[in-house]
Structure 1
Amino acid sequence: MTTTDPLRFKAPDDPECTVDPLCCAPLGDAVLAQADAEQLADALKALADPARLRVLSLLRAAPGGEACVADLVRPLDLSQPTVSHHLRVLTDAGLVARERRGTWVWYSLRAERLAEIRSVLR
């Protein structure tokens, strides 16, 4: 016959739970809300591609921290439509900002969004 310890099944806010080392600890304030988790997942999906990671590194290293598609085609060894696709995915995920200047669109990192992701992953 197996016996079970009733303290293992107590809720984290039960007073006896705090003295039982086998009881779970209460959750902290760092728990992601559903909407935040979905946004983070979208950003991480966007980052889960080698070409997109290279785009981010090229933007970080670009003079003035910005580049247009034409600046990225050769270093990535990808076609212009493919580079544009990757930039759109990164922009939609909030990782890259875009600014139209005449007929050209310039892209730059959204450092605040990257910092948010970094802080969640610590």
Structure 2
Amino acid sequence: MADGTPNLTSAPNKPLRGGASGFNRTPGVREMREYPVTSRELWTLGGLQASSALTLSLAGWLFGFWLNAKQALDLADRKTIPATALAQWEAYANLAWWGALGIGILGFLLMGLVGLNVWGIIKDTRHGP
């Protein structure tokens, strides 16, 4: 251009030598494969991801509650606190531990289902020559 800046719109797009990927790279052009997704697949993936996030958040909250309850029980003065109260909080802590473990496993299973759905979409898609 007249002010010394290059005119990018008229610059020729010369392909660059491809790397290990086998793609010929062209400046300003991004070559990629497309994977069409139906609305049902999109809602399924979104629902699984939201469920996974929710269950893992709940598992984290329960784990934090368990840590706090265990710490409180370890620091509790056993001479002044009734045994029934200590047993009740011990039960709460155990429930929180097993709940965090079970719900956390469920969250990771849901994450795996998301991956399996994406893998299925990739495997079901055929690309031309």
Give the TM-score, by structure 2 length.
0.30
Which structure shows the bigger proportion of residues in strand conformation? 1
